[in-house]
Amino acid sequence: MTLLISGGTVVTGTGSYAADVLVDGETIAALYAPGRAPAGGEVVDAAGKYVIPGGIDAHTHMELPFGGTFASDTFDTGTRAAAFGGTTTIIDFAVQRTGENVHEGLAAWHGKADGNCHIDYAFHMIIGGVDDEALKAMDALVEHEGITSFKLFMAYPGVFYSDDGQILRAMQKSRGNGAITMMHAENGIAIDVLIGQALARGETDPIHHGLTRPSELEAEATRRAISLAKVAGDTPLYIVHLSASEALAAVAQARDGGRNVFAETCPQYLYLTLEDQLGAPGFEGAKWVCSTPLRSRHESHQRDLWQGLRGNDLAIVSTDHCPFCYKDQKELGRGDFSKIPNGIGGVEHRVDLLYQGVVDGKLSLERWVETVATTPARMFGLYPRKGVIAPGSDADIVVYDPAGRTTISVETHHMNMDHSAYEGFEIAGKVDTVVSRGTVVVARGEYLGRKGHGRYLPRGLSTYLS
Protein backbone atom coordinates (compact mmCIF):
# COMPACT_ATOMS: atom_id res chain seq x y z
CA MET A 1 0.00 0.00 0.00
CA THR A 2 1.33 3.43 -0.92
CA LEU A 3 0.70 6.86 0.53
CA LEU A 4 1.64 10.11 -1.22
CA ILE A 5 2.07 13.33 0.74
CA SER A 6 1.67 15.87 -2.02
CA GLY A 7 2.19 19.59 -2.48
CA GLY A 8 3.96 20.39 0.78
CA THR A 9 7.26 21.96 1.80
CA VAL A 10 9.64 19.40 3.27
CA VAL A 11 11.58 20.91 6.18
CA THR A 12 14.81 19.29 7.33
CA GLY A 13 17.57 20.33 9.67
CA THR A 14 19.56 21.65 6.72
CA GLY A 15 16.95 23.31 4.52
CA SER A 16 13.43 23.45 3.13
CA TYR A 17 12.20 22.55 -0.35
CA ALA A 18 9.05 21.64 -2.26
CA ALA A 19 8.70 17.88 -2.68
CA ASP A 20 6.18 15.07 -2.72
CA VAL A 21 6.90 12.19 -0.35
CA LEU A 22 6.01 8.65 -1.40
CA VAL A 23 5.49 6.08 1.35
CA ASP A 24 5.44 2.37 0.59
CA GLY A 25 4.40 0.23 3.52
CA GLU A 26 6.15 1.42 6.68
CA THR A 27 9.03 3.30 5.07
CA ILE A 28 9.68 6.28 2.84
CA ALA A 29 10.21 5.07 -0.72
CA ALA A 30 11.18 8.27 -2.54
CA LEU A 31 10.99 12.04 -2.71
CA TYR A 32 9.81 13.53 -5.99
CA ALA A 33 9.79 16.95 -7.56
CA PRO A 34 6.28 18.39 -7.15
CA GLY A 35 3.80 16.62 -9.39
CA ARG A 36 6.26 13.97 -10.63
CA ALA A 37 5.30 11.10 -8.33
CA PRO A 38 3.51 8.07 -9.81
CA ALA A 39 -0.26 8.00 -9.51
CA GLY A 40 -2.15 5.55 -7.32
CA GLY A 41 -2.59 4.91 -3.63
CA GLU A 42 -3.83 7.20 -0.87
CA VAL A 43 -3.02 10.92 -1.16
CA VAL A 44 -2.58 13.44 1.66
CA ASP A 45 -2.88 17.02 0.40
CA ALA A 46 -0.13 19.06 2.07
CA ALA A 47 -0.48 22.19 -0.05
CA GLY A 48 0.53 25.26 1.95
CA LYS A 49 1.83 23.10 4.79
CA TYR A 50 5.17 21.90 6.17
CA VAL A 51 6.15 18.24 5.97
CA ILE A 52 8.51 17.33 8.79
CA PRO A 53 9.86 14.18 10.44
CA GLY A 54 7.75 12.83 13.27
CA GLY A 55 8.74 14.32 16.60
CA ILE A 56 10.91 12.38 19.04
CA ASP A 57 10.40 13.18 22.71
CA ALA A 58 13.59 11.90 24.31
CA HIS A 59 12.48 12.37 27.93
CA THR A 60 9.16 11.04 29.22
CA HIS A 61 7.99 9.29 32.39
CA MET A 62 4.85 7.25 31.80
CA GLU A 63 3.47 5.56 34.94
CA LEU A 64 6.48 6.68 36.99
CA PRO A 65 6.14 5.98 40.73
CA PHE A 66 6.90 9.19 42.60
CA GLY A 67 5.98 10.68 45.96
CA GLY A 68 3.52 7.96 46.95
CA THR A 69 1.64 7.94 43.65
CA PHE A 70 2.16 7.29 39.92
CA ALA A 71 2.40 9.58 36.91
CA SER A 72 -1.18 9.80 35.64
CA ASP A 73 -0.47 8.93 31.99
CA THR A 74 -0.10 5.28 31.11
CA PHE A 75 1.76 4.19 28.00
CA ASP A 76 -1.68 3.94 26.39
CA THR A 77 -2.95 7.43 27.23
CA GLY A 78 0.43 9.14 27.03
CA THR A 79 1.48 7.83 23.62
CA ARG A 80 -1.97 8.54 22.17
CA ALA A 81 -1.70 12.14 23.38
CA ALA A 82 1.82 12.37 21.97
CA ALA A 83 0.53 11.32 18.55
CA PHE A 84 -2.07 14.10 18.59
CA GLY A 85 0.79 16.54 19.12
CA GLY A 86 3.00 15.33 16.28
CA THR A 87 5.32 13.12 18.32
CA THR A 88 5.76 9.66 16.81
CA THR A 89 8.48 8.27 19.11
CA ILE A 90 9.09 8.58 22.83
CA ILE A 91 12.10 7.49 24.87
CA ASP A 92 10.88 6.71 28.36
CA PHE A 93 12.89 5.87 31.48
CA ALA A 94 12.95 2.36 32.89
CA VAL A 95 13.73 2.57 36.59
CA GLN A 96 16.12 0.90 39.00
CA ARG A 97 15.76 2.47 42.42
CA THR A 98 18.26 2.03 45.24
CA GLY A 99 18.34 -1.61 46.28
CA GLU A 100 16.55 -2.90 43.19
CA ASN A 101 17.82 -5.05 40.30
CA VAL A 102 18.49 -3.32 36.95
CA HIS A 103 17.18 -6.19 34.81
CA GLU A 104 14.01 -6.49 36.89
CA GLY A 105 13.43 -2.76 36.56
CA LEU A 106 13.75 -2.96 32.79
CA ALA A 107 11.43 -5.96 32.62
CA ALA A 108 8.81 -4.04 34.60
CA TRP A 109 8.90 -1.20 32.08
CA HIS A 110 8.61 -3.57 29.15
CA GLY A 111 5.57 -4.99 30.91
CA LYS A 112 3.98 -1.55 31.21
CA ALA A 113 4.60 -0.62 27.57
CA ASP A 114 4.29 -3.84 25.58
CA GLY A 115 1.10 -3.87 23.51
CA ASN A 116 -0.09 -0.54 24.95
CA CYS A 117 1.71 2.09 22.85
CA HIS A 118 0.17 3.98 19.97
CA ILE A 119 3.57 5.12 18.66
CA ASP A 120 7.08 3.68 18.72
CA TYR A 121 9.06 3.78 21.95
CA ALA A 122 12.48 3.14 23.42
CA PHE A 123 13.99 3.21 26.89
CA HIS A 124 16.77 4.91 28.77
CA MET A 125 17.71 3.21 32.06
CA ILE A 126 17.76 5.00 35.40
CA ILE A 127 20.53 3.62 37.58
CA GLY A 128 19.49 4.42 41.13
CA GLY A 129 21.93 2.12 42.88
CA VAL A 130 25.43 2.02 41.42
CA ASP A 131 27.16 -1.18 42.58
CA ASP A 132 29.05 -4.05 40.94
CA GLU A 133 25.88 -5.75 39.73
CA ALA A 134 24.44 -2.57 38.27
CA LEU A 135 27.70 -1.80 36.48
CA LYS A 136 27.73 -5.28 34.96
CA ALA A 137 24.12 -4.83 33.89
CA MET A 138 24.98 -1.63 32.03
CA ASP A 139 27.20 -3.58 29.64
CA ALA A 140 24.50 -6.19 29.12
CA LEU A 141 21.84 -3.57 28.33
CA VAL A 142 24.04 -1.91 25.72
CA GLU A 143 24.97 -5.20 24.09
CA HIS A 144 21.68 -7.10 24.23
CA GLU A 145 18.79 -4.70 24.92
CA GLY A 146 19.52 -1.69 22.71
CA ILE A 147 19.67 0.63 25.73
CA THR A 148 22.59 2.99 25.23
CA SER A 149 21.94 5.76 27.74
CA PHE A 150 21.89 5.69 31.53
CA LYS A 151 20.49 8.34 33.83
CA LEU A 152 22.04 9.20 37.18
CA PHE A 153 20.79 11.58 39.86
CA MET A 154 22.66 14.11 41.95
CA ALA A 155 19.31 14.77 43.69
CA TYR A 156 16.73 12.78 45.68
CA PRO A 157 18.88 11.20 48.43
CA GLY A 158 17.54 7.81 49.47
CA VAL A 159 15.61 7.26 46.24
CA PHE A 160 17.77 7.79 43.15
CA TYR A 161 20.79 9.71 44.48
CA SER A 162 24.33 8.68 43.56
CA ASP A 163 27.39 10.15 45.24
CA ASP A 164 30.40 11.36 43.27
CA GLY A 165 32.23 8.04 43.57
CA GLN A 166 29.26 6.10 42.24
CA ILE A 167 28.82 8.59 39.42
CA LEU A 168 32.49 8.28 38.47
CA ARG A 169 32.28 4.48 38.35
CA ALA A 170 29.17 4.57 36.17
CA MET A 171 30.75 7.14 33.86
CA GLN A 172 33.83 4.97 33.49
CA LYS A 173 31.61 2.05 32.54
CA SER A 174 29.84 4.18 29.92
CA ARG A 175 33.18 5.32 28.55
CA GLY A 176 33.96 1.68 27.90
CA ASN A 177 30.67 0.56 26.36
CA GLY A 178 29.89 3.68 24.33
CA ALA A 179 26.79 4.78 26.23
CA ILE A 180 25.76 8.32 27.16
CA THR A 181 25.49 9.33 30.81
CA MET A 182 22.37 11.41 31.38
CA MET A 183 22.51 13.55 34.51
CA HIS A 184 19.89 15.13 36.74
CA ALA A 185 22.19 17.89 37.90
CA GLU A 186 21.08 19.44 41.19
CA ASN A 187 22.94 19.37 44.50
CA GLY A 188 20.37 17.26 46.32
CA ILE A 189 22.22 17.19 49.65
CA ALA A 190 22.25 20.99 49.90
CA ILE A 191 18.68 21.24 48.59
CA ASP A 192 17.43 18.95 51.35
CA VAL A 193 18.99 21.29 53.93
CA LEU A 194 17.22 24.28 52.39
CA ILE A 195 13.91 22.40 52.27
CA GLY A 196 14.15 21.46 55.94
CA GLN A 197 14.96 25.04 56.92
CA ALA A 198 12.05 26.45 54.88
CA LEU A 199 9.54 24.03 56.40
CA ALA A 200 10.85 24.83 59.88
CA ARG A 201 10.05 28.50 59.19
CA GLY A 202 6.52 27.56 58.15
CA GLU A 203 7.16 28.23 54.45
CA THR A 204 4.99 25.49 52.98
CA ASP A 205 3.49 26.96 49.76
CA PRO A 206 4.45 25.58 46.33
CA ILE A 207 6.63 28.57 45.45
CA HIS A 208 9.14 27.41 48.05
CA HIS A 209 9.79 24.33 45.92
CA GLY A 210 11.52 26.71 43.53
CA LEU A 211 13.13 28.91 46.14
CA THR A 212 14.80 25.94 47.84
CA ARG A 213 16.25 24.72 44.53
CA PRO A 214 18.23 27.83 43.51
CA SER A 215 19.92 28.05 40.13
CA GLU A 216 23.34 28.10 41.81
CA LEU A 217 22.81 24.51 42.99
CA GLU A 218 21.87 23.41 39.47
CA ALA A 219 24.99 25.14 38.13
CA GLU A 220 27.25 23.65 40.80
CA ALA A 221 26.03 20.14 40.08
CA THR A 222 26.36 20.70 36.32
CA ARG A 223 29.97 21.84 36.69
CA ARG A 224 30.71 18.89 38.97
CA ALA A 225 29.17 16.43 36.50
CA ILE A 226 31.26 17.93 33.70
CA SER A 227 34.41 17.57 35.81
CA LEU A 228 33.62 13.95 36.71
CA ALA A 229 33.00 13.15 33.04
CA LYS A 230 36.41 14.58 32.18
CA VAL A 231 38.09 12.45 34.85
CA ALA A 232 36.24 9.43 33.41
CA GLY A 233 38.02 9.86 30.09
CA ASP A 234 35.74 12.56 28.64
CA THR A 235 32.83 10.16 28.68
CA PRO A 236 29.77 11.59 26.91
CA LEU A 237 27.54 13.60 29.24
CA TYR A 238 23.98 14.77 28.61
CA ILE A 239 22.41 17.19 31.11
CA VAL A 240 18.65 16.70 31.33
CA HIS A 241 15.99 19.42 31.84
CA LEU A 242 18.49 22.30 32.06
CA SER A 243 16.69 25.41 33.35
CA ALA A 244 19.29 27.93 34.52
CA SER A 245 21.60 30.41 32.82
CA GLU A 246 24.56 29.47 35.03
CA ALA A 247 24.22 25.77 34.18
CA LEU A 248 23.98 26.63 30.49
CA ALA A 249 27.17 28.68 30.76
CA ALA A 250 28.96 25.64 32.19
CA VAL A 251 27.77 23.48 29.31
CA ALA A 252 28.76 26.11 26.75
CA GLN A 253 32.24 26.43 28.24
CA ALA A 254 32.76 22.67 28.08
CA ARG A 255 31.50 22.50 24.50
CA ASP A 256 33.74 25.39 23.49
CA GLY A 257 36.61 23.29 24.80
CA GLY A 258 35.64 20.39 22.54
CA ARG A 259 34.09 18.24 25.25
CA ASN A 260 31.44 15.55 24.71
CA VAL A 261 28.89 17.56 26.71
CA PHE A 262 25.29 18.01 25.59
CA ALA A 263 22.11 19.33 27.18
CA GLU A 264 18.38 19.54 26.73
CA THR A 265 15.81 21.99 27.97
CA CYS A 266 12.01 21.71 28.17
CA PRO A 267 9.11 23.93 27.08
CA GLN A 268 8.24 24.79 30.68
CA TYR A 269 11.56 26.59 31.10
CA LEU A 270 11.07 28.51 27.87
CA TYR A 271 7.55 29.76 28.68
CA LEU A 272 6.64 29.44 32.37
CA THR A 273 8.04 31.26 35.41
CA LEU A 274 8.43 30.96 39.16
CA GLU A 275 6.32 34.05 39.81
CA ASP A 276 3.49 33.56 37.32
CA GLN A 277 2.91 29.81 37.68
CA LEU A 278 4.71 28.29 40.66
CA GLY A 279 3.83 31.36 42.71
CA ALA A 280 0.12 31.32 41.81
CA PRO A 281 -2.23 32.16 44.71
CA GLY A 282 -2.93 29.57 47.37
CA PHE A 283 -2.02 26.01 46.45
CA GLU A 284 -2.58 26.51 42.71
CA GLY A 285 1.16 26.67 42.06
CA ALA A 286 1.40 22.95 42.83
CA LYS A 287 0.38 22.30 39.21
CA TRP A 288 3.79 23.59 38.14
CA VAL A 289 6.02 21.81 40.67
CA CYS A 290 8.79 20.09 38.74
CA SER A 291 12.53 19.58 39.15
CA THR A 292 14.56 21.41 38.08
CA PRO A 293 12.08 24.16 38.99
CA LEU A 294 10.68 27.06 37.01
CA ARG A 295 12.97 30.07 37.19
CA SER A 296 12.32 33.75 37.93
CA ARG A 297 11.10 36.02 35.15
CA HIS A 298 13.22 38.76 36.68
CA GLU A 299 16.40 36.96 35.62
CA SER A 300 17.77 36.09 32.19
CA HIS A 301 17.10 32.34 32.14
CA GLN A 302 14.47 32.21 29.39
CA ARG A 303 16.34 34.59 27.11
CA ASP A 304 19.54 32.61 27.58
CA LEU A 305 17.84 29.26 26.96
CA TRP A 306 16.42 30.46 23.64
CA GLN A 307 19.87 31.69 22.71
CA GLY A 308 21.31 28.32 23.73
CA LEU A 309 18.88 26.60 21.37
CA ARG A 310 19.80 28.88 18.49
CA GLY A 311 23.51 28.34 19.05
CA ASN A 312 23.32 24.58 19.74
CA ASP A 313 24.63 24.69 23.29
CA LEU A 314 21.20 23.23 23.98
CA ALA A 315 20.80 20.34 21.58
CA ILE A 316 17.26 19.12 22.17
CA VAL A 317 13.89 20.15 23.57
CA SER A 318 12.23 17.28 25.44
CA THR A 319 9.26 17.52 27.78
CA ASP A 320 10.21 15.58 30.92
CA HIS A 321 6.55 14.59 30.66
CA CYS A 322 5.61 13.40 34.14
CA PRO A 323 1.97 14.33 34.70
CA PHE A 324 0.05 14.28 37.95
CA CYS A 325 -3.53 15.35 38.50
CA TYR A 326 -4.12 18.32 40.76
CA LYS A 327 -6.85 16.55 42.70
CA ASP A 328 -5.65 13.72 44.94
CA GLN A 329 -2.10 13.74 43.52
CA LYS A 330 -0.61 17.24 43.65
CA GLU A 331 -2.82 17.75 46.72
CA LEU A 332 -0.68 15.23 48.61
CA GLY A 333 1.60 18.20 49.28
CA ARG A 334 -0.91 20.55 50.89
CA GLY A 335 0.85 22.02 53.88
CA ASP A 336 4.26 20.67 52.80
CA PHE A 337 5.58 21.59 49.37
CA SER A 338 8.22 18.84 49.58
CA LYS A 339 5.46 16.23 49.30
CA ILE A 340 4.01 17.58 46.04
CA PRO A 341 4.70 15.03 43.27
CA ASN A 342 7.25 16.53 40.89
CA GLY A 343 6.20 16.79 37.27
CA ILE A 344 4.51 18.68 34.46
CA GLY A 345 2.59 17.16 31.56
CA GLY A 346 3.43 18.36 28.06
CA VAL A 347 4.07 15.46 25.67
CA GLU A 348 1.17 16.65 23.49
CA HIS A 349 2.37 20.24 23.14
CA ARG A 350 6.12 20.20 22.50
CA VAL A 351 6.02 20.46 18.69
CA ASP A 352 3.48 23.30 18.85
CA LEU A 353 5.26 25.24 21.59
CA LEU A 354 8.56 25.10 19.72
CA TYR A 355 6.85 26.14 16.49
CA GLN A 356 5.63 29.23 18.31
CA GLY A 357 9.31 30.00 18.82
CA VAL A 358 9.65 30.01 15.03
CA VAL A 359 6.69 32.39 14.70
CA ASP A 360 8.21 34.67 17.35
CA GLY A 361 11.56 34.79 15.52
CA LYS A 362 13.46 32.85 18.17
CA LEU A 363 14.19 29.75 16.04
CA SER A 364 14.45 28.99 12.34
CA LEU A 365 12.21 26.39 10.73
CA GLU A 366 15.22 24.14 10.30
CA ARG A 367 16.28 24.48 13.93
CA TRP A 368 12.72 23.65 14.98
CA VAL A 369 12.96 20.34 13.14
CA GLU A 370 16.42 19.65 14.52
CA THR A 371 15.42 20.19 18.15
CA VAL A 372 12.16 18.20 18.05
CA ALA A 373 13.13 15.35 15.72
CA THR A 374 16.51 15.05 14.00
CA THR A 375 18.90 15.72 16.88
CA PRO A 376 17.07 13.39 19.31
CA ALA A 377 17.33 10.62 16.71
CA ARG A 378 21.04 11.19 16.22
CA MET A 379 21.80 11.71 19.90
CA PHE A 380 20.13 8.51 21.02
CA GLY A 381 20.96 6.02 18.29
CA LEU A 382 17.75 6.08 16.22
CA TYR A 383 19.11 7.85 13.12
CA PRO A 384 18.53 7.42 10.16
CA ARG A 385 15.60 5.12 10.93
CA LYS A 386 13.95 8.06 12.68
CA GLY A 387 14.29 11.83 12.61
CA VAL A 388 14.63 12.38 8.86
CA ILE A 389 12.53 12.32 5.71
CA ALA A 390 14.65 10.21 3.39
CA PRO A 391 14.28 7.02 1.36
CA GLY A 392 14.57 3.96 3.59
CA SER A 393 13.69 5.81 6.80
CA ASP A 394 10.58 4.96 8.76
CA ALA A 395 7.58 6.85 7.44
CA ASP A 396 7.08 8.92 10.60
CA ILE A 397 5.83 12.18 9.13
CA VAL A 398 3.91 15.22 10.36
CA VAL A 399 2.03 17.59 8.08
CA TYR A 400 2.01 20.91 9.94
CA ASP A 401 -0.29 23.79 9.01
CA PRO A 402 1.29 27.22 9.63
CA ALA A 403 -2.07 28.86 8.88
CA GLY A 404 -3.84 26.86 11.59
CA ARG A 405 -4.19 27.80 15.23
CA THR A 406 -4.00 25.71 18.39
CA THR A 407 -5.51 26.68 21.72
CA ILE A 408 -4.07 24.62 24.55
CA SER A 409 -6.58 23.68 27.23
CA VAL A 410 -7.57 20.92 29.61
CA GLU A 411 -10.87 20.89 27.73
CA THR A 412 -9.21 19.77 24.49
CA HIS A 413 -5.98 17.98 25.37
CA HIS A 414 -5.73 14.19 25.37
CA MET A 415 -3.34 13.65 28.30
CA ASN A 416 -4.74 12.01 31.43
CA MET A 417 -4.63 15.18 33.52
CA ASP A 418 -7.25 17.36 35.16
CA HIS A 419 -5.44 20.59 34.30
CA SER A 420 -3.12 22.01 31.67
CA ALA A 421 0.22 23.59 32.45
CA TYR A 422 -0.27 25.79 29.36
CA GLU A 423 -3.95 26.63 29.79
CA GLY A 424 -5.04 29.29 27.29
CA PHE A 425 -1.81 29.37 25.28
CA GLU A 426 -2.48 30.26 21.64
CA ILE A 427 -0.16 28.70 19.05
CA ALA A 428 0.06 30.17 15.54
CA GLY A 429 0.21 26.74 13.88
CA LYS A 430 -1.45 23.34 14.07
CA VAL A 431 -0.68 19.66 13.60
CA ASP A 432 -2.73 18.57 10.58
CA THR A 433 -1.80 14.96 9.81
CA VAL A 434 0.42 12.48 11.66
CA VAL A 435 1.83 9.35 10.03
CA SER A 436 3.48 6.63 12.13
CA ARG A 437 5.41 4.00 10.17
CA GLY A 438 3.24 4.60 7.12
CA THR A 439 -0.09 4.59 8.96
CA VAL A 440 -2.12 7.78 9.29
CA VAL A 441 -2.85 7.99 13.02
CA VAL A 442 -4.18 11.57 13.21
CA ALA A 443 -5.97 13.50 10.47
CA ARG A 444 -7.39 16.99 11.08
CA GLY A 445 -8.07 16.40 14.74
CA GLU A 446 -9.51 12.89 14.34
CA TYR A 447 -7.71 9.95 15.88
CA LEU A 448 -7.24 6.98 13.55
CA GLY A 449 -4.51 5.05 15.37
CA ARG A 450 -4.70 2.13 17.74
CA LYS A 451 -3.15 0.84 20.91
CA GLY A 452 -0.47 -1.73 20.13
CA HIS A 453 0.67 -0.11 16.88
CA GLY A 454 3.81 1.19 18.61
CA ARG A 455 6.91 -0.99 18.64
CA TYR A 456 9.91 -1.15 20.93
CA LEU A 457 13.05 0.34 19.35
CA PRO A 458 16.42 -1.10 20.35
CA ARG A 459 18.88 1.76 19.91
CA GLY A 460 22.41 2.02 18.64
CA LEU A 461 25.13 4.37 19.86
CA SER A 462 24.98 8.12 19.45
CA THR A 463 26.30 9.52 16.18
CA TYR A 464 27.57 12.67 17.92
CA LEU A 465 30.35 11.16 19.97
CA SER A 466 34.05 11.62 19.47
Give pLDDT tens digits along the chain (466 positions): 899 999 999 999 999 999 999 999 999 999 999 999 998 899 999 999 999 999 999 999 999 998 889 999 999 999 999 999 999 999 999 999 888 899 999 999 999 999 999 999 999 999 999 999 999 999 999 999 999 999 999 999 988 999 999 999 999 999 999 999 999 999 999 999 999 999 999 999 999 999 999 999 999 999 999 999 999 999 999 999 999 999 999 999 999 999 999 999 999 999 999 999 999 999 999 999 999 999 999 999 999 999 999 999 999 999 999 999 999 999 999 999 999 999 999 999 999 999 999 999 999 999 999 999 999 999 999 999 999 999 999 999 999 999 999 999 999 999 999 999 999 999 999 999 999 999 999 999 999 999 999 999 999 999 987 5
Q: How far apart are CA 409 and CA 139, in angstroms?
A: 43
The CA distances from residue 219 to 196, 240, 353, in Å, are 21, 13, 26
Amino acid at the residue 30? A
Sheet holding 180-184, edge to edge: 55-60, 87-96, 120-127, 149-153, 180-184, 237-239, 261-265, 316-317
pLDDT of residue 131: 95
For the chain, the straight-line distance linking the first and the last C-alpha, in angstroms and rounded, comes to 41
Residue 464 is predicted with a pLDDT of 85
Residue type, 282: G
Beta strand pairing call for 397-401 and 50-53: antiparallel
Question: Nearest-CA neighbor of 390 among 89, 22, 28, 8?
Answer: 28
Phi-psi region of 333 (alpha: psi -120 to 50; beta: other; left: phi over 0): alpha
Q: Which domains, from first to last, does the chain contain?
A: 2-52+385-447 (2.30.40.10), 55-379 (3.20.20.140)
Tens of pLDDT, residues 242-284: 999 999 999 999 999 999 999 999 999 999 999 999 999 999 9
DSSP bridge partners of 154: none
In sequence order, which residues have a C-beta less than 8 Å from that of residue 294 and are 6 or more positions away?
210, 243, 268, 269, 272, 273, 274, 277, 278, 288
Q: Which amino acid is at 42?
A: E
Instruction: Please state the φ and ψ torsions of residue 172, each to the nearest 5 degrees.
Output: -60, -40
Q: Which of 50, 114, 118 is nearest to 82 (CA)?
A: 118
Q: What is the pLDDT of residues 55-87, one digit of tens each?
A: 999 999 999 998 889 999 999 999 999 999 999
Distance CA 243, CA 198 (A): 22
- Give the span between the Cα atoms of 269 and 288, in whole angstroms: 11
Helix axes 245-256, 215-231, angle to 10 degrees: 20
pTM: predicted TM-score of the whole model, two decimal places: 0.98
